[in-house]
Amino acid sequence: MGLIRRSFSFIAGTVFGIYVAQNYNVPNLKKIADSTFSTAKQVEEKYRKPRTRHDD
């Protein structure tokens, strides 16, 4: 009985997540994170200080 009681919230959350993913237009978070990371990398490369001989 204790195992069912402990895992009820996990099972209910999984079922709810599957329902939402199938019935609503949920954005792809991996795609959004990858595009944000690449944009941040481009900004960093653009505004990075130039390297000097003393930095090596």
Is residue 56 in some structural domain? Answer: no
Question: What torsion, rounded to 10 degrees, do the Cα atoms 48, 51, 54, 55 define?
Answer: 60
pLDDT at 52: 76
Segment 5-23 mean pLDDT: 93
Q: Is the dihedral of CA 39, 41, 42, 47 positive or negative?
A: positive
Contact present, 20 and 26 (Cβ < 8 Å): yes
Neighbours of 13 (CB within 10 A): 10
The count of domains in the chain is 1
Tell me the pLDDT tens digit for each residue of 18-34: 999 999 998 889 999 99
Domain that holds residue 12: 2-50
Nearest residue to 26 (alpha-carbon basis) of 38, 37, 36, 16: 16
Is residue 55 in some structural domain? Answer: no
